[in-house]
Copies of this chain bind each other. A is one copy, B any other.
Amino acid sequence: MSAVDFPIDNLPFGVVRPPGDDARVVVRIEDHVLDLAAAGIVPELTGRATLNAVLESGRESEIRERAGELLMAAPRHVLPVDSVEVLLPFRVGDFVDFYSSRHHAENVGAILRPDDPPLQPNWLHLPVGYHGRSGTVRVSGTPVQRPSGLVPGPDGRPVFSRTRALDYELEVGFVVGGPTATRIRPDDADRHVFGVVLLNDWSARDIQGYESRPLGPFLAKSFATSISPWVVTLEALRPFLIAGDVHDPEPAPHLRSTRPWGLDLHVEAHVNNTRVSATNFSVMHWTFAQQLAHLTTNGATTGAGDLFGSGTVSGPTPSERGCLIERTWGGAEPITLADGTTRTFLADGDTVTLRGWCGGDGRPRIGFGEVTGTVVAAVTSGED
């Protein structure tokens, strides 16, 4: 991961473990990490192995300011990031995943339901979403074992098989902080969103297609969700908040906002050494502020450690499509990697890497580093 993503303007939060030692809460600076407890900035973090206390505290601005001052003055209590194990940064509460790129929703609709309108009737009126499995959110670098499940067999009867349609989804994840809240207004989103990560919503398309009616995706997604280890604060991203997408029809009052909640964030996905998807997060139709408002509008509470994903980030052109089912149009149009091999879906041994950054164009670069995962072969016992 490149140190260029983490200048002093960034200072994202994470959790690391030095060899043979206890985990500790840090901020990242270039290619080092600063131990917040040892440096005396947040002494009460001693012994903590997750960011959750920081997420709850609402003190991220003050902590980053003090860390910046210390790092500018006399850097102590810093460790090379290459010398430590980088851990899952927080204990995930509820995980919700949305579906908020219109390009993605229209493409997937056209691929899977070619005889129907590409968007469901609700799509333009609310940010469609569902709950995912929080217990299988993994940190970047964790291998991803190819899942098995029931898929349609040649005679129409289902067979239990390793997935033959393993996909990535290029997403952005939002980490909730502060006190427990409900019925959040979109324009209050920055009081409740602590920070942002990159998120790979690994998906098994054949399992998904078979299981999803009528209650939605389940085992096709729950085997693994990977996130980047550095929680970039919304505070650091403020210079990159821009106007969101135009909505026509106008959304219901509880989904309207007056402040800019789009995010000028470049994101891309690589399979092995080939960049397969690249677009800008500003293509999203529903903003994270609208997503947060929607998910709490029924009185559901959200609080520190909850995570919600944007949905696959897909732009209008083929190279901007954020997953393989779109890039290969359901497998009909294989893509060719730099080594000359082709893919419809992921092969065992493939490594998927998502990267993202704001700025770097004269403005300070606020980067996310990467989230990576390598596909390992399925367990074979009991399968076809």
Contact = CB atoms under 8 A, between A and B. Distances in A.
Nearest to A378: B299
Interface string A122-154: 100110111111111000000001011110000
Interface-centre pick from A99, A134, A160, A299 (highest chain B CB count, 10 A): A299
A223 to B, nearest CB: 4
Nearest to A219: B298
A161 to B, nearest CB: 10
Contacts of A382: 253-254
A223 B300 contact: yes
A120 B213 contact: yes
28 contacts: A93-B135, A94-B134, A94-B135, A121-B213, A122-B213, A126-B211, A130-B218, A131-B218, A133-B300, A135-B300, A135-B301, A135-B306, A145-B299, A148-B297, A157-B249, A160-B253, A160-B254, A212-B216, A214-B216, A219-B294, A219-B295, A219-B300, A220-B298, A222-B300, A223-B300, A224-B299, A254-B382, A299-B379
Interface string A79-120: 000000000000001101001000000000000000000001
A152 to B, nearest CB: 9
B300 A252 contact: no
Contacts of A300: 133, 135-136, 219, 222-223
A226 interface: no
Interface in A269-287: none
Contacts of A133: 94, 131, 300
Nearest to A130: B215
In which size bucket is the chain A interface? 35 or more
A122 B122 CA distance: 25
A219 B160 contact: no
A367 to B, nearest CB: 31
Contacts of A379: 183, 299
Interface in A232-271: 249, 252-254
Nearest to A180: B135
A210 B122 contact: yes
A349 interface: no
In the complex, the count of this chain's copies comes to 2
A310 interface: no
Contact of A222 (B93, B120, B298): B298
A158 interface: yes
Contacts of A34: none
Interface of A: 93-94, 96, 99, 120-122, 125-126, 128-136, 145, 147-150, 157-160, 183, 204, 207, 210-220, 222-224, 249, 252-254, 294-295, 297-303, 306, 379, 382
Given A129-B215, A136-B300, 7 more contacts: A93-B135, A131-B131, A134-B134, A135-B302, A147-B299, A220-B298, A223-B299
A216 B219 contact: no
B135 A215 contact: no
A64 to B, nearest CB: 27
Contacts of A120: 213-214
A126 B147 contact: no
Contacts of A122: 150, 158, 210-211, 213
Contact of A298 (B129, B183, B204, B299): B204
A265 to B, nearest CB: 24
Given A125-B150, A131-B131, A211-B126, A252 B160 contact: yes
Contacts of A132: 131
A215 B306 CA distance: 20
Contacts of A150: 122, 125-126, 252
